[in-house]
Structure 1
Amino acid sequence: MRQAAIWTTIGLAAPTLAAADPGENWQGGYGHMMWGGGYGMFGGLMMILFWGIIIALIVFAVKWFTDNQGGGNRGKRDALEILRERFASGEIDEEEFDRRRKALEK
């Protein structure tokens, strides 16, 4: 049973491998597109540059979307809210609270 599975796999893979054989004169056509023919070394470097730009755009898009979630005011507290917290905790008295609140509302 195991040998039959191996021979079946080889039998199915052989035509694929034969079709992938470049033949004797594989550089007579287009050649190897990355380094040997086509655009040569320039083509390979451009491919690396292209994929680098695509990956960078994806990273920047994900960063931008995660930074802009939460109504745009995430992590930032209003000055009046901080003043109210300080008054509620007893750090400042009512006179100081009123004076600072009026200054903030100008």
Structure 2
Amino acid sequence: MRTGLMTSLVAVASTTTPFALADSDGGYGGHMMNGAWYMGPIMMAFFYGLLALMVVMVLRTFGIGSGATKSGATSAVQESSDAILRERFARGEIEQDEFERRKKTLNG
């Protein structure tokens, strides 16, 4: 997730940075903070990073995203682990007392 967020941030910053650096007369520098031309791209990257972070936080707050499918994934894993446990018991790899103990542990 962080990789995608960073990729988006870099893509946005790289497409907008040349416009932040250019003066109206076509030159570079001298228009921000008395010649500190590097502050434009830094502040822009900070702003877009903050904006992306806020969007992610809002989406997670409302349960949209990776947390929304967590209960479905958990039940699928539970069913899969129960099936594997039953298969091992059926093949004779584990005894009945171990089967019951592990089933109790898996089901909570």
**TM-score (norm: length of structure 1):** 0.40
Q: Identify the structure with bigger relative contact order (alpha carbons < 8 Å, sequence gap 6+).
A: 2
**TM-score (norm: length of structure 2):** 0.40
- Give the structure with the larger helix fraction: 2
Larger radius of gyration: 1
